[in-house]
Every structure is written in structure tokens, then in C-alpha cells.
Amino acid sequence: MKRLYGWIFVLPAFILLSVFTFYPIIATLIDSFYSDKTIFRPRVFLGFENYHHLLHDPVFITTLLNNFLFALGTVPASIILALIMALLVSQRTPAKGLIRLTYFTPTILPMIAVANIWLFFYTPQIGLFNKIIGLLGYTGINWLGNPSTALPSLMILTIWKEAGFFMIFYLAALQSLPKELYEAAGIEGTSNWSCFWKITFPLLMPTTFFITINALIEAFRFVDPIFVLTKGGPDNATNLLLYYIYETAFSFLNHSYAATLTVVLVLILVVLSIIQFGVIEKRIHYQ
Amino acid sequence: MGKIELINISKSFGNKQVISNINITVEEGSFTVLLGSSGCGKTTTLRMVSGLEKPDSGKIIIDGKDVTNKDSSKRGISMVFQSYALFPHLNVKDNILFGLRVRKVNKQEQKIKLQRVEELLGLDGILNCKPSQLSGGQKQRVALARALVAEHSICLMDEPLSNLDAELRHKMRIEIKSIQKRLGITVLYVTHDQIEAMSMADHIILLNDGKIEQQGTHYSLYDRPETIFAAKFIGTPPMNILDKDEMTLLNDEIMLSNKSNDKILQFNFLDIASENQWYIGIRPEDIVVNKSQEGIKGKIVFQHYLGSDTILGIQIKRKNELLSARIRDKNIYNNGDIVWINWLEENTHIFDSNGKREKKYNQTSLNKDKKFKKAS
């Protein structure tokens, strides 16, 4: 009887997870080994053929490369910015609350709204950036239309959006640092600069690590603004993995190949999660 | 080296006056304790000496130099914090050397100084441990080592033993005191624990509500409390205080009214008697409990057996507080027993209406007759 109760209590969660998480993962994995069923051809087992194709797919290689570039461009920058903002607003600055709110606002906006706002910044003729550049007497750039500036433009938008969110983590961590440590250091005549590098920065390491992993995961899950701003173009310059999966599945209707791409993305995310849980849990626990 | 003077220091936080115009001199090489209950301003005073707080007015002078507006690091002091304030990410060695490294002391000297404190505090074997791996006592030693390694002539300690258990606290009290003697440094020590103050201090400064209540040696604070506050603060259990309402005057005699059995105190002159309110105080160990009907009649309400002695709680009047008496005998009374209490007149402390010690009485006119007065 007791066992039965146990199962009954677990059942709702079990059903939800099975239907919406476990089944899709397994189905995706299986699909990636088959071809799609069409009117002309039945579903055929392909083995690793889809994966083989993956390695020779220039668009996949480009999106993967773009994704790594995107992560490299956004993660460190947004973390450094977040830390600087957190340090600024954790001190006794006038209008502290207002500044905090300003920094945090991008975080509470939906991604699509953010993309729309930035669309107005980046638009070639009437956009904010080109207007400013025009006022200074230079010719504007087609930010999103140029392959060399399109991806960096998306990165800037992401940094703007994420930094405020990460700042909150740093702010919480900064507030939990004992004041006496700084007093003890102050009595020895430690400058603010060395206080930061010798005390604050090392004690923030667990937070930094946590944020880094989360930022990496977010970088690989980045997709929404692409729909609004670039649709992956020009010439796949802003085509990232998740967007490519979407296109493959719903524009090109190649479901089995989309499943294969999804497996790759999930693998990347799983590796990051393992690092997060495995390493963070074990390392850098001070007290 | 190591003399600290605080001149007319005041400090308030917001509207709350924490320190009101105090003057303190801490002698070179002394172990001075700032004693008081929480909120009395003792930690604030210490922090002003350290430079972590700035006084609103007044001067802080260390070794003849005005340091009121100088940074902590320029005052030649070190400090031990209540929470130890060890850097959790650094091992013991790096914690101890933190200050020397900030001051860019050369490597050779660092090594010598580290070795010195390592021996002084018995830190061998834990130099490579992180603070989280240490016991409370070890953390305390490391905190001390970090303060002493710079070899400043002044060490400030803010309730350093309050996080230790009773046994360890006892050991550390002895150790801190002996280190202070050996190094000849000036220690300014903050505590709310009167036992700590009594056992370690050369000089005790008792603070109450931002003012100095009394200062002096432990003997003078215990034997001649200047105020009722001091009398009650020092000593466990505190001094028994009886007020005028519990006594009656008869000619030149004071009687503790207790219907049939009265304790009589005789005064040669009675300036004090004319005042509206005054108090007498008796230390619990000065009270003699007897069953031979001498003194004031009372009932035993509780007995706390402490091993070496027993504390009796005795009710002498229905409404008032219990008197406590310390006796050496064990197990000779039952709760509810009727006993008589008495004391030598020379052990009577008299306080005036403001709670200040009545000097005239206590100095000149105390009846030195050591005989107990018979109940009338």
C-alpha cells in the first residue's frame, strides 16, 4: 500500500516529464537515425548517415562556428560588464535604486521586444546609430545587412540584455561578503585595487563560474532576435545552431536532419550542464 | 611605545549618541579592557581607535601623535575581530602574511616573522589549511597570529573569545594574557564578559550608555564600585541592592524593616539620611546566613549548587527582589527554610539618590566594629 502511495504521488511529475521531456529526447534520437517518410519514400533506417552528412554540411559548420564566436563575444564581455555594474551599484552611490533598475530593465523585457527596439537602433537610414554617425559627418553602416557587422550587432544586443541579469547574481554575492574582511584588509592599508583582486574577485569565483556556464548555455540557446532582425542572414552570417534547426525542420521540412542537429545541440548543453553540476558542486566552497 | 589617549571623544549614529565626551588613557604595555553591556559603545570606541570609525569630535592620540584623521594603516595598530575575519580563500600562511605582503615587506623578513608567530601560537601543521578546515580555537589562534605578525606595539581586540566554548575560552584567556606580557604590547580589549575583564585586565574601563561609569584596577572595581551600575555589573551574582523604602530610620540608626527581626546599621552622622532616596549594597559572599536568629529574617526560595559554593536566593520581604547569598556549605538547607542573614558593616556599600557611592560614609564614618549587631 505504501508503495502504491509513493507511485501515485510521483505520477503527475512522471507523466509530464515523460510526455514533454523524455519522450521527445528519445524520439529525436531515434529520428536522427532514420530518413523522413514522404509520399514517395517510406521511412528508412539510415544509421549514422545523417551524422555523416552533418560533417560535410557547410551551413552546419558555419552555424557551429558562429555559435562559438557568439559565445566568445558575449560571455566574457557581459560578465565583465555585469561585475563592473554590480560593483558600482553595491557602493553608496546617489540614486542607487534608480541605477539598479536601469541596469536591470533589459532583463525583464521579452527577447522579441528587445529585438524590436534594437531594430530601430540598427536600421540603415533612420536608425539611432546611423543618425548619430550621420550627425558626426560620417556615412552610416548597414549594421545588419553587412556580413562582417551582423553577428557583432547581435552580440552587442545580447550583452546589453544579459549583463543586467548577471549583475543581480554578482550583487547578491557581493552583499554576502563579510564586511570585516575589508576592515581587516583596510587596517593593513590595502588599496581598493588590491582589495578587489585579493579579496573580492577570488571570493566571487563561485558566482563567476556559475554565471559563465549559464551564459554559455544561453549563448547556445540564442534564437529569438534572429527571427526579427536577420533571419540568419546575410549569407548565414548570423545563422546560429538553434535557428538552423528551426529552418531545417519547418522551412526545409527535413525532420530527420533537424533531429540530428538537435542531438548535437543537446549534447553540447549536456556537457555544459555536467561541468556545471559536477565541478561547481565540488569546487570553490569556502565556508 | 603604545600609549593611546582619547580626548573628549563623541560619536553618534544618526540621532543616537553612542559615545558622549569620553576621555580614556591606555598606558603603554597595559592590558586595558573596555567592559560594558551590548550597545554601551565599547566596540565603537575600539573602532575609533582603529580608525574604522571617525569620531564626531575629539582627538585620538597614539604615542603623542594626533592620529584622529589618519588611516588605520598609518596608526601602527593591529586588530583581532570577533568573527576572526580570516580570508576564506587563503590558507593560514597567506592569511597571516596578508598584511606584510600588502606592505611589501621583503621575503626574508616575512619568513622570520611568520616563524616567530608560528612558534608563539603553536601553529605548526596547520599553515597550509584553509580556514574552513580549522576548529574555532585554531581560527582564533590564526586571527591572533595575523594581528601579531606585524609586531605593532598596539593590538586591538574586539570580543575575540566570544565564539569559543567555555573551556577553550579559559585557556585562551591565559594564553592571550601571557603573550601580551611576553611581547610587552599594549592591548585594548573589548568584552561584555566581566570574568574576562577581571581575569585579564590591568585596567578596566566600565562603559554605560556611552559614558565611563568607572575605571580602575579589577580590585577597585570590585571592592569599591563607584555606582550602583558598576556594583551590579561586576560580580556574579550581582551585588544585592536594597533601597530606602525597605529601611526605616530611627535616631541615628537605619533599620531594615522586617517586622520583628531587623538588621541595624549605625551611622555616626546621617547626611545621607536626609536625602529622599539612597541605597545600600551587599555582595552575596559578604552575607552570612544563619539559623540563630541574627539579622534579617528571610525564606530560602532557591539554591544553586555550583560545586565550590552554593548561591541561595533569599526572600526577605514579600514584594522585593530576592537577595542572593554565597555560602561554602553544601546541602544544609531546604527550599522554604526560614533563615537569618547578616553581614559585617564594613562590607556595606552605600549609594546616594543618583546611584553614586556615598564617599563620606564609606570612607570616614564606617563603623569598623566587626561584631554583628544583634537583632533588636
B104/A contact by beta carbon, under 8 A = no
Q: Where are the alpha helices (DSSP H) in chain B?
A: 42-50, 92-102, 107-121, 136-148, 166-183, 194-200, 218-223, 228-233, 359-363
A15, three cell numbers: 507523466
Minimal-distance CA residue of chain B relative to A204: B89
Mean pLDDT of A140-146: 76
The pLDDT assigned to A12 comes to 93
Q: Is the peptide bond before A147 cis (omega within 30 degrees of 0)?
A: no
Mean pLDDT of B239-264: 64
Rounded CA separation A260/A249 (Å): 11
Minimal-distance CA residue of chain A relative to B157: A184
Domain boundaries, chain A: 57-282
CA distance B73 to chain A (A): 5
When the pLDDT of each residue in chain B is averaged and rounded to a whole number, the result is 84
CA distance A174 to chain B (A): 15
- The conformational region for residue B124 under phi > 0 = left, psi -120 to 50 = alpha, else beta, is beta
B128-157 confidence digits (pLDDT tens): 889 988 988 899 999 999 999 988 999 999
The pLDDT assigned to A231 comes to 79
Q: According to CATH, what is the number of the domain B4-232?
A: 3.40.50.300
Rounded CA separation B230/B224 (Å): 9
Rounded CA separation B320/A216 (Å): 72
Amino acid at residue number B79: M
A114, three cell numbers: 528587445
Domain boundaries, chain B: 4-232, 237-363
**B74:A189 CB<8 A:** yes
- For testing contact with chain B, the best of A188, A196, A197, A283 (most B CBs within 10 A): A188
Rounded CA separation A162/B215 (Å): 60
Name residue, grid cell 574552513.
B132
B79/A contact by beta carbon, under 8 A = yes
**A186:B73 CB<8 A:** yes
CA distance A189 to chain B (A): 5
Residue B256 has pLDDT above 90, yes or no: no
The more confidently predicted of residues B107 and A91 is B107
Homologous superfamily (CATH) of A57-282 is MetI-like (1.10.3720.10)
A277, three cell numbers: 553540476
**B98:A185 CB<8 A:** yes
A164-221 confidence digits (pLDDT tens): 899 999 999 998 888 889 999 988 888 888 889 989 998 998 888 889 888 888 888 8
CA distance A173 to chain B (A): 14
B91/A contact by beta carbon, under 8 A = no
User: What contacts B311, CB < 8 A, 6 or more positions away?
Assistant: B237, B284, B303, B304, B324, B325, B326
Homologous superfamily (CATH) of B237-363 is Nucleic acid-binding proteins (2.40.50.140)
Give the percent of chain A with pLDDT over 70: 97
Give the percent of chain A with pLDDT over 90: 11
B218, three cell numbers: 579589577
**B71:A189 CB<8 A:** yes
Amino acid at residue number B126: I
Residues of B in contact with A194 (CB under 8 A): 102
Name the residue among B73, B82, B131 with its Cβ closest to that of A188. B73
Name the residue among B83, B102, B132 with its Cβ closest to that of A190. B102
The more confidently predicted of residues B376 and A245 is A245
The pLDDT assigned to B367 comes to 42
Most confident among A108-122, B199-213, B354-368 (mean pLDDT): B199-213
**Phi, psi of A175, rounded to the nearest 5 degrees:** -70, -20
Residues of A in contact with B51 (CB under 8 A): 187
Mean pLDDT of B155-182: 90
Question: Smallest Cα–Cα separation from A242: which of A154, A156, A169?
Answer: A154
User: What contacts B116, CB < 8 A, 6 or more positions away?
Assistant: B149
Q: What is the DSSP string of B231-295?
A: HHHSSSSPPEEEEGGGEEEETTEEEE--TT---EEE-S--GGGGSS--EEEE-GGG-EEESSS-S
The pLDDT assigned to B365 comes to 37
Name residue, grid cell 549614529.
B13
**A187:B103 CB<8 A:** no
- For testing contact with chain A, the best of B49, B78, B79 (most A CBs within 10 A): B79
**A180:B83 CB<8 A:** yes
**A189:B130 CB<8 A:** no
Whole-angstrom CA distances from B184 to A235, B49, B148, B241 are 79, 19, 12, 40
Amino acid at residue number A119: L
The pLDDT assigned to A129 comes to 78
A265, three cell numbers: 545541440
Mean pLDDT of B251-275: 56
What is the edge-to-edge ordering of all strands in the sheet holding B65-66? B16-26, B4-13, B57-62, B65-66
Give the percent of chain B with pLDDT over 90: 37
| pLDDT bracket for residue B371 (50, 70, 90) | very low
The pLDDT assigned to B274 comes to 61
**B83:A185 CB<8 A:** no
Report the range of poorest mean pLDDT among A163-167, B211-215, B272-276, B315-319.
B272-276
CA distance B89 to chain A (A): 6
ipTM: 0.78
B150-162 confidence digits (pLDDT tens): 889 999 999 999 8
